[in-house]
Structure 1
């Protein structure tokens, strides 16, 4: 059932559940039919969804197993660790590949499989954790392997939909002492005694794989406004990011800079009202910018981007910037 104005209650319910990590919902609170409805409404849709696709599969598989038997449920609880557990023990290899009543589990899981985007799941997890369970049709797994082989690197994020808007907010714990954050984190401005550039990063961490895009709107320009990304460590927010080894930024004069590495005339100068879109490809570790609707080349000179980055800006008085998820066709 599509989400329309005629079923606004269902719409609201889906949006609410989509913003809750599935692995925090007790198994049994959602029925198979309820989960199928949630996944069908969010599959390949541009709406907020915060559960990574592997966790979608994990929850679906364990819920299906719970319908079969306690043994199947207990087995899959052990066989399918959370992503956090995988990171902690640095291993994704399952020890026991047999699943009690795996054919019955596969049957229960069947209505959910078409709404799980397996291409978003890490290839190693797919091969070492999911495939050996024999609860996903071999044709589905084979098609994903083919896609991985053809594309070499997936351009998909590991989570469907778009990031919650609240993640695109400036971080009060990571900003210069003379910068002021307003409007629930969307706005950052320099106080009138901020006469040298200071920096601030957003709350959202951009790491591992995926393509990330966000907009920074220059509501009030200052002499050399800077927009870009910074590392998670060794960044001094009392200084401007482009002056540091851990900052990669585009300036309002059209120059991009990372410490002593800078190039002029990347784009025309911009000022009040400008919309800067940052395109960060963590699969290839590349960055490009769109300025007022015109997209410019990848900054090939930035060949040292680390595995974890944050959106960052550097401003001084009277600078005032807004951050938001990328708005297409604006």
Structure 2
């Protein structure tokens, strides 16, 4: 390659190249990298203090960073040499460590770039990655309110009910960060306090014996127990419900309003259409409970669950992927009907759905009276959603169960 045309390309030749280096960099994972003292010191005050401090480090050929792995250090070197990095260099496997390293070496522009990339690219898959990333942050970074990456991860995890996060994805330390950050803060947090306590207890119990000190477990419990003037059925932070109607999974003649909490049928909606909630209910995640309030009844009103491959333009009870209880007291699925389960619904009726995803069964409470598990609904699919089926003038509200 001809040199002298591009400073960036010429400097890349020097990157991690023993021929042009005068310092060995030893990383956390014991991989050895190579650097040029003068370039590193010119680009980072931290490197300058470490390499030109007049102490013995100034004369040694090696320098160690026991808390920074080689994946992150390679990106740090690329940035210090060239002034830029490629977005594709940042992945879910290195972004936390790289952000930590950029903070350690006081490279604010690199931190800004990491956050921008995180929001633009990795953020698309944030819900599925955020518990693991938060756990990783908790391992290497202190809990500070000015840590933008930490804030983003906590805000993401807080929007998902803890009982939908598989054990092993969120560490004890990650949970402590989550609870500390959201305590007495106006931050969205979807999980009711009694579910926080339950999740914390199970998570602590699942740790290998002796690995988690008893004081750590007690600290988690103390964080959970820090309630304001409320009881365990309340929600910390801003009450943000995962039980909201999903506009992307809604019949064409249904309207969603009140921040997703209410659905109603247009006056030309003469046959039943459906809408499901955004909340995903998955196998072996325990018992899910939510309320549907019939603000305006219709002929007839239906409440229940649905699976994938579901048609939102056709009555739920006629579909093999829909299971619903109706305002006449009967329940339907795949054209199969059983009558006299409960009394009729009227305006103001509150139906609580009790979905046990361990047993994959369903029961209902109607106006405070709980009825038995629905006969025949004893092997429901492993992934379900709350659903309602209505026609004009129906108007239904969904909310987390309120005791």
TM-score range, shorter chain: 0.5 to 0.7
* Aligned with residue 229 of structure 1, among 296, 305, 309: 305
Residue matched to 2:296: 220
Deviation >2 Å, runs of 4+: 20-29, 47-54, 58-62, 115-123, 160-166
CA deviation after TM superposition for structure 1 residue 58, in Å: 5.5
Residue matched to 1:205: 280
Output aligned runs, 1:29-48, within 5 Å: 29-30=142-143
* Aligned with residue 136 of structure 1, among 212, 229, 240: 212
* Aligned with residue 256 of structure 1, among 325, 331, 346: 331
SS of aligned partner of 1:272 = coil
- The answer to whether the Cα contact below 8 Å between 2:301 and 2:389 also exists between their aligned partners in 1 is yes
* Aligned with residue 254 of structure 2, among 146, 168, 179: 179
* Rg comparison, structure with higher value: 2
The structure whose RCO (Cα within 8 Å, separation 6+) is larger is 1
Determine whether 1:301 maps to 2:376. yes
- TM-score, with normalisation over the residues of structure 2? 0.48
- The answer to whether the Cα contact below 8 Å between 1:242 and 1:259 also exists between their aligned partners in 2 is yes
Distance 2:399 2:176 in 1: 35
CA deviation after TM superposition for structure 1 residue 270, in Å: 1.1
Q: Aligned in 2, Cα 1:24/1:200: closer, same or farther, shift over 3 Å?
A: same
CA deviation after TM superposition for structure 1 residue 50, in Å: 4.4
CA deviation after TM superposition for structure 1 residue 195, in Å: 0.4
Q: Structure 1 regions of 5+ residues with no counterpart?
A: 1-19, 32-46, 63-114, 142-159
Residue matched to 2:241: 166
Q: Aligned in 2, Cα 1:24/1:122: closer, same or farther, shift over 3 Å?
A: closer
Residue matched to 2:202: 120
Cα-Cα RMSD: 3.5
Determine whether 1:327 maps to 2:402. yes
CA deviation after TM superposition for structure 1 residue 191, in Å: 0.5
- The answer to whether the Cα contact below 8 Å between 1:222 and 1:319 also exists between their aligned partners in 2 is yes
- The answer to whether the Cα contact below 8 Å between 1:193 and 1:317 also exists between their aligned partners in 2 is yes
Residue matched to 2:13: none
* Aligned with residue 311 of structure 1, among 382, 386, 398: 386
Distance 2:204 2:352 in 1: 27
Distance 1:294 1:166 in 2: 24
CA deviation after TM superposition for structure 1 residue 118, in Å: 6.1
Q: Aligned in 2, Cα 1:262/1:120: closer, same or farther, shift over 3 Å?
A: farther
CA deviation after TM superposition for structure 1 residue 161, in Å: 8.1
CA deviation after TM superposition for structure 1 residue 316, in Å: 0.3
- TM-score, with normalisation over the residues of structure 1? 0.58
Q: Structure 2 regions of 5+ residues with no counterpart?
A: 1-129, 145-157, 178-196, 218-232
Residue matched to 2:357: 282
Distance 2:198 2:245 in 1: 32
Q: Aligned in 2, Cα 1:190/1:291: closer, same or farther, shift over 3 Å?
A: same
